[in-house]
Chain A
Amino acid sequence: MLNQIAANLTAIDIAIIATYMVGVLVIGSLFARYVHSAGDFFLAGKALPFWAVGMSIVVSDIGATDMMAGAGATYKYGLAQANFDWIGSMPAMIIAAFVFIPYYWRAGVFTIPEFLGRRYNTAVQTLQALIWLGFMFSMLAIMLWMSATFLSDVFGMNKITAVWITVAIVGVYTVSGGLAAVVMTDVMQMIVMFVGAGSLLALSLWETGGWSGMREAILAQGAETQNHFTLLLPHDTTTPYPWTGIVFSLGIIMSTAYFVGNQAVVQRALGARSEWDAKAGMIFAGFLKLFIPVLIFLPGLAARAMYPDLADADAAMPRMVVNLLPPGLAGLMVAAFFAALMSSVDSFLNSCTTIFTSDIYAKLYEAGSGSPLSTRHALILGRLLTVVLIVATGLVAPVIERFETIYTAIQTILSLFQGPTFAILLLGILWPRATRWGALVGLVLGVLMTGTLNLIGDQIFPSEDPFLFVSFWSFLFAMAVTIVVSLLTPREPPEKLRGLVFGQVLHDADAQELLKRGINES
C-alpha cells in the first residue's frame, strides 16, 4: 500500500517532506550550543516550559505504530481502540502529575530505576534498568524498521539504506542537542502531525458524509460492525478490549504503570523548569491526548465506511492517504508519519542512554574507581552511547521483520513488566514498610508470573488476546509478594527512607535538605 503513496507523490510533496526533514535536523542541532553538562544533555538543563513538556510527552507516545496499527485496529474493532488514549491516559496522567512526578522531582533523580535504587537497593535499580534497556532497545529497533519500511515504500529505496538514513538524521540532533533537542523537535513534529492528520480527518469525514453518514455506512455492514461505535465492549467480547479489562486494568493499572514508570515520559517532566511546569505539562499532555484518537483513529473508521473489504486492516490509513489527499497534503501526511516515527525514536534513544549512563555505567564506575562519575564524563559518555545505541539498533532492526504483529508484540513486552514495576513503585512511595528484598522478589516473581500468564492466558481468560487481564493480575500478584516478603524481612532504616516515602517528600523540609545534600555529594 505504501508504495502507492509513493507513486502519487508530486514534486510539492517531495519538497514538503525534504523541508520537514531538514527543518528537524537544523532545529535539533541548534540546541547543541546549550549542552555543557550531563544535566543539560539528559534533562535539558531543567529549563523546559510546561507546553513543551506536554507536547513532547504526547508526540513521543505516538509512534507510527499508533498511526498505522491504531487506525487498522479501529478499522477492525471500532472506537474501542480509542480507549488506549482516553481512559488509558487521562486518569493516569492526573495521578502522575500530582503524586509521582513531585516525588521524582524532589528526589532529584535522572531515571526511575535511580529512584527505585534510592528507595530499595542497587539490585532493584539494576534489574529495572536492564528491563527498560531491553524494552527500549527492541522498541528502537522496531521503530527503525518501520521507518525503513515506510521510507523504502515511499521513495523506492533499499530498506537497509532507509534504516541508516533514519539513524543519521535522528542521531545527529539527539547526539548534539540531547533532551532539549529531542523535546523541541517533538514540538515541531507534533504540529506537523496534527496538521497532516487533521487534513486527512476533514477529508475523510467529507467523503463519508460526515459523522452520521459514516456511522450509517458502518452499521449497515452487518453484525461484525454493530459495536464499532461503542467504547466499552462486553466482558465476554472476543476482541482484545473487554470493558472490565479496559476500565480496571488499562484505566487504573496499566496506564498508571506506563505514565509513572515510563522513562521516556517521566524524563520530559523531570526536564521541566519548575515543579509546577512538570505537573502542568503532564495535565496538558492528558488534554492533548483527547485529540489523538480523533485525528488518527477516526480515519481508520472512515476507511471502514469507504472500503469495507480490506484484507489487511493496517492498510486502512495508507489507502485513505492515497485516495483522499491532494498534492501538498499528501506530502504533509507523509511528513506526519516520519514525525511520529522520529519523535519516538529520538525519545527512546535519549532515555535509553540516560538509563545506561545513570543506572549501569555510573554504578560500575563508582564501584571500580571509588569516585562518582563526573558531569563532564557523563556528558561525553552520553553522547558516545547515543551513537553506539543507534548504530546497534540499526544493525538489529532487520530481525524485527519476524514479528507478526508489531503492535501486539509491543503490548506484550510492555505488559510483561509494567504491572510488577508499578506494584513496587506504588508500595515504595506509599508504604514505608516495603523493603529491598520485598521489592526485588516481588519484581522478579511478578515478571515471571506475567510471562507465565502470557503463555497460557488465552486458556484462562475470555479474551482472545488477554494482555489487559494479564497485566492486572500480575500487578496484584507482584504487590502481594512484595508485601509478604517485606513483612518477613527487616525494616529499612528510617534515615534511608527520609524524603522518599509518602508525606516526607511533600512536607518534611529537613528531609528535603537531606536529599539535596545527598544529591550534591553523589
Chain B
Amino acid sequence: MTALTEFLSTWLVPPLKAFFGPIDAWLASLPQAMARVCAVGLFLLAAGWVWTIKRDFIYLGAPDRSRWRDLRIWAVLALLPYVIIYANF
C-alpha cells in the first residue's frame, strides 16, 4: 500500500494539485457569511421546491385528501427548525 501511495503521489499529485489548487484558493477567498447563505439557501430551496410538485402526486396512496396529509406542509414544517438553526449558528 505504501508503494502504491508513493507511486500515486509522484505521478498524480502534481497534476491534481494544479487542477484543484485554483478551486481551493477561490473557495478559501469566499467570505464566511457565504457559508450561512449557502446552507440556509439549501433548506429554503428544498422548502420551495416541494411546492412545485403536483397535489395528485403528493396524495398518491393516501386514504383521503385531508389537509394534514399534504406532505408539502410536512416538508416545510420539518425544514423550518433547520433554517432557524443554520441562520443562527
**Residue ranges of A at the interface with B (Cβ–Cβ < 8 Å):** 79, 86-87, 90-91, 94-95, 97-98, 102, 229-232, 234-236, 243-244, 246-248, 251-252, 274-280, 283-284, 286-287, 290, 452, 455-456, 459-462, 473, 506
Bound-state Cα–Cα, A430 to B45, Å? 19
A-B contact pairs, 20 of them (CB 8 A): A91-B45, A94-B75, A97-B71, A232-B39, A234-B28, A236-B28, A244-B27, A247-B38, A247-B39, A275-B60, A280-B69, A283-B71, A283-B78, A284-B74, A284-B78, A456-B16, A459-B9, A460-B13, A460-B16, A473-B20
**What are the residues of chain A within 8 A of B78 when measuring CB–CB?**
90, 283-284, 286-287, 290
Q: In the complex the two chains form, is B9's CB within 8 Å of A276's CB?
A: no
Residue of A nearest to B13 (CB): A459
Give residues 40-66 of B contacting A (CB, 8 Å): 42-43, 45-46, 49-50, 53, 57-63
Main secondary structure of the interface of A (DSSP, over half): helix
Q: In the complex the two chains form, is A86's CB within 8 Å of B82's CB?
A: yes
Bound-state Cα–Cα, A279 to B75, Å? 10
Residue of B nearest to A456 (CB): B8
Q: In the complex the two chains form, is B42's CB within 8 Å of A235's CB?
A: no
Bound-state Cα–Cα, A232 to B4, Å? 35
Q: In the complex the two chains form, is A232's CB within 8 Å of B20's CB?
A: no
**What are the residues of chain A within 8 A of B1 when measuring CB–CB?**
455
Q: In the complex the two chains form, is A274's CB within 8 Å of B61's CB?
A: yes
> In angstroms, how far is the closest chain B Cβ from the Cβ of A134?
18
**What are the residues of chain A within 8 A of B75 when measuring CB–CB?**
94, 97-98, 283
The 10 A-B pairs at the shortest CB distance, nearest first, are namely A274-B61, A275-B61, A276-B61, A243-B35, A232-B35, A276-B62, A287-B78, A231-B89, A94-B46, A91-B46
9 new A-B contacts at CB < 8 Å, known A98-B50, A280-B71? A86-B86, A87-B39, A91-B43, A94-B46, A94-B49, A235-B27, A244-B35, A280-B69, A460-B17
Q: In the complex the two chains form, is A98's CB within 8 Å of B60's CB?
A: no
Q: In the complex the two chains form, is A274's CB within 8 Å of B62's CB?
A: yes
Bound-state Cα–Cα, A248 to B1, Å? 30
Q: In the complex the two chains form, is B16's CB within 8 Å of A276's CB?
A: no
Q: In the complex the two chains form, is A90's CB within 8 Å of B79's CB?
A: yes
Q: In the complex the two chains form, is B59's CB within 8 Å of A276's CB?
A: yes
Bound-state Cα–Cα, A232 to B27, Å? 14
> In angstroms, how far is the closest chain B Cβ from the Cβ of A420?
18
> In angstroms, how far is the closest chain B Cβ from the Cβ of A289?
9
**What are the residues of chain A within 8 A of B69 when measuring CB–CB?**
276, 280
Main secondary structure of the interface of B (DSSP, over half): helix
- A251 in complex: contacting residue of B5, B17, B39, CB < 8 Å: B39
Q: In the complex the two chains form, is A455's CB within 8 Å of B4's CB?
A: yes
**What are the residues of chain A within 8 A of B24 when measuring CB–CB?**
235, 461-462
**What are the residues of chain A within 8 A of B57 when measuring CB–CB?**
98, 102, 506
**What are the residues of chain A within 8 A of B45 when measuring CB–CB?**
91
**What are the residues of chain B within 8 A of A462 when measuring CB–CB?**
24, 28
Residue of B nearest to A291 (CB): B81
**What are the residues of chain B within 8 A of A278 when measuring CB–CB?**
61
Given contacts A79-B89, A283-B71, A506-B57, contact A459 B17 (CB under 8 A): yes
Residue of B nearest to A462 (CB): B24
Given contacts A232-B35, A234-B32, contact A461 B79 (CB under 8 A): no
**What are the residues of chain A within 8 A of B58 when measuring CB–CB?**
279
Given contacts A98-B53, A459-B17, A461-B20, contact A235 B30 (CB under 8 A): yes
> In angstroms, how far is the closest chain B Cβ from the Cβ of A514?
18
**What are the residues of chain A within 8 A of B27 when measuring CB–CB?**
235, 244
Residue of A nearest to B89 (CB): A231
Q: In the complex the two chains form, is A90's CB within 8 Å of B13's CB?
A: no
Given contacts A87-B42, A94-B79, contact A456 B35 (CB under 8 A): no
Q: In the complex the two chains form, is B85's CB within 8 Å of A452's CB?
A: no
**What are the residues of chain B within 8 A of A94 when measuring CB–CB?**
46, 49-50, 75, 79
Q: In the complex the two chains form, is A90's CB within 8 Å of B43's CB?
A: yes
Bound-state Cα–Cα, A283 to B61, Å? 16
Which of B9, B35, B77 neighbours the largest number of chain A CB atoms within 10 Å of its CB? B35
Residue of B nearest to A87 (CB): B39
**What are the residues of chain B within 8 A of A86 when measuring CB–CB?**
82, 85-86
Residue of B nearest to A91 (CB): B46
Bound-state Cα–Cα, A279 to B74, Å? 10
**What are the residues of chain A within 8 A of B53 when measuring CB–CB?**
98
Which of B17, B58, B78, B89 neighbours the largest number of chain A CB atoms within 10 Å of its CB? B78
Bound-state Cα–Cα, A231 to B82, Å? 12
Bound-state Cα–Cα, A290 to B28, Å? 29
**What are the residues of chain A within 8 A of B32 when measuring CB–CB?**
232, 234, 243
**What are the residues of chain A within 8 A of B35 when measuring CB–CB?**
232, 243-244, 247
Given contacts A279-B71, A280-B74, A283-B75, contact A460 B82 (CB under 8 A): no
Bound-state Cα–Cα, A160 to B71, Å? 47
Bound-state Cα–Cα, A313 to B42, Å? 31
Bound-state Cα–Cα, A229 to B4, Å? 40
> In angstroms, how far is the closest chain A Cβ from the Cβ of B13?
5
Bound-state Cα–Cα, A278 to B46, Å? 18
**What are the residues of chain B within 8 A of A279 when measuring CB–CB?**
58, 71
Q: In the complex the two chains form, is B61's CB within 8 Å of A455's CB?
A: no
Q: In the complex the two chains form, is B9's CB within 8 Å of A456's CB?
A: yes
Q: In the complex the two chains form, is A456's CB within 8 Å of B13's CB?
A: yes
**What are the residues of chain A within 8 A of B5 when measuring CB–CB?**
455-456
> In angstroms, how far is the closest chain A Cβ from the Cβ of B66?
12
